[in-house]
Amino acid sequence: AQSVTQPDIHITVSEGASLELRCNYSYGATPYLFWYVQSPGQGLQLLLKYFSGDTLVQGIKGFEAEFKRSQSSFNLRKPSVHWSDAAEYFCAVGAKGSYIPTFGRGTSLIVHP
Amino acid sequence: NAGVMQNPRHLVRRRGQEARLRCSPMKGHSHVYWYRQLPEEGLKFMVYLQKENIIDESGMPKERFSAEFPKEGPSILRIQQVVRGDSAAYFCASSPSDRANTGELFFGEGSRLTVL
């Protein structure tokens, strides 16, 4: 079975600073990887996904993530954070043939002006 | 194309009452998932359904909880005899058949249940 670890529960950055949110997964084969964002009181919105191919994937809202097989990681990055990026971010892993993705605990992003 | 629709958005029940949460998946999506989110916790899988079938209910408590996805109409998550510990946000997600085996989901805005 697959699992996901998001080691940071909270991350605080200043507006305009760069951001990296960590995600480590455990799965025996090549996983399907996702990042979702949840604004307060809202549902989850897909930011980006990795299925295969180029290990650097671009998503919406200026986010990108890099799949590193050797490190079992799929970290989310943004070069310059905006106040509106303050939200909860969830990493998820799916497995080929498995219909049920596993979610990490989430990382709460706080943006200081 | 409307997204995943959940209602009610907020529901208040007293202990012992029943809660019914409804979910209409995106048009063309035949796979429905229910997740529960507790404060300071992540999303916990409850049940996965296709039309008229429960595929996986391994995350759903054996007692008091049930789910269905009838041929016509929305998916329903039903909680009988609610207790305070059932207070949570319940999220429904759907997926089209050609992506269901990847884990890519489209989420609704959730139903927030408060048990008094």
Whether residue A99 is predicted with pLDDT greater than 80 in this model: the reply is: no
Assess A92–B contact: CB distance below 8 Å, yes or no.
Answer: yes
A27 in B contact zone (CB under 8 Å): no
Task: Give the per-residue pLDDT at B2.
Answer: 72
- B101·A93 Cβ contact <8 A: no
CB contact under 8 A, B103 and A106: no
Contact B47, B33 (CB under 8 A): yes
pLDDT of res. A70: 92
Q: What is the pLDDT of residue B17?
A: 98
The CB-based long-range contact list for A75-78 (8 Å cut-off, 24+ gap) reads A75/A20, A75/A21, A75/A22, A75/A23, A76/A19, A76/A20, A76/A21, A76/A23, A76/A35, A76/A47, A76/A48, A77/A18, A77/A19, A77/A20, A77/A21, A78/A18, A78/A19
Q: What is the structure's pLDDT at B1?
A: 52
Q: Is pLDDT at A73 greater than 90 in this prediction?
A: yes
For strands B10-13 and B111-115, give the pairing: parallel
**Residue A16: predicted pLDDT:** 97
**Mean pLDDT across the stretch A38-50?**
92
* Test mutation, A33, A60, A103, chain B, max B CBs within 10 A: A103
Q: Encode pLDDT of B55-113 as tens digits.
A: 999 999 999 999 999 999 999 999 999 999 999 999 999 998 887 778 889 999 999 99
- Residue A58 predicted with pLDDT over 90: yes
- Contact across the interface for B45 and A100, Cβ inside 8 Å: yes
Give the pLDDT score at B74.
95
**Residue with the larger pLDDT of the pair A83 and B1:** A83
Given CB atoms, is B108 within the 8 Å cutoff of chain A? yes
Q: Do A99 and B55 touch (CB under 8 A)?
A: yes
Write down how long chain B is: 116
B108 chain-A contacts, CB cut-off 8 A: 43
Query: How far does A18 lie from chain B, in Å, by closest CA?
Result: 25
User: What's the pLDDT tens digit per position in B11-56?
Assistant: 999 999 999 999 999 998 999 999 999 877 788 999 999 988 999 9
User: How far does the CA of residue B102 sit from the closest CA of chain A (Å)?
Assistant: 6
Q: Does A49 touch chain B (CB under 8 A)?
A: yes
- Whether residues A43 and B108 touch (CB distance < 8 A) is answered with yes
Mean pLDDT of A15-39: 92
